[in-house]
Amino acid sequence: MYKFIIKLADLKIYIHCHYQYCFNMCQDYIVNDKDYDFKISTNEDELLKENIPNHYNTELAVNISEDGTNYNIVNEVPTTGYELNSEKSICKTQTDTSGIENAPKDNNITIEYKEGKIDFLGITQKGTRCYLYFDLKNS
């Protein structure tokens, strides 16, 4: 949860938002002040109305392997020593006619792994699930 004040058009606006996206978009306007002219709050319904994806509704399953065959589920994306297996790693987006388990691979989503961080490009819907597979790097 983010609480901050921005200055825009000579108005000081107190913002209470739940999403990193909102904070990132306002960063250039944040001021160090306690007084404000009015207050706004964002929630998931408002983001959906504006067609802004909420990446926090994305489910993630991270699997690592030392032999490229047997995978174990872990709680974190590995930061060193592993590489993303782009052939096995996929994202699925639930449709009106399929549950998430039966959903096909969403080919509009690109997964990038760099320096221990994952970037997802193309997530546009709530209810997306991604399965990430990491293999031990060959030295």
How many CB atoms within 10 Å of residue 112? Answer: 11
Instruction: Spell out the alpha helix ranges (H) of 6-136.
Output: 20-26, 44-49
| Per-residue pLDDT, 5 | 92
Q: 89 Cβ partners below 8 Å, 6+ apart? A: 111, 130, 131, 132, 133
Q: What is the 8-class DSSP label of residue 105? A: B
Instruction: Summarize the chain as % helix, strand, coil (round to 5).
Output: 15, 40, 45
Paired tokens of 57: 């509704």
Q: 112 Cβ partners below 8 Å, 6+ apart? A: 118, 119, 120, 121
Tens place of pLDDT for every residue, the chain, 139 residues?
688 999 988 889 988 876 677 788 888 999 998 888 888 876 555 555 555 444 445 667 788 888 888 898 888 888 888 999 999 999 888 776 666 677 888 898 899 898 788 888 888 777 788 889 999 988 6
| Per-residue pLDDT, 57 | 53
> CA 62, 91, 49: angle at the middle one, nearest 5?
115
Radius of gyration of the chain measured on its C-alpha atoms: 19
Looking at this protein, which amino acid is placed at residue 114? Answer: K
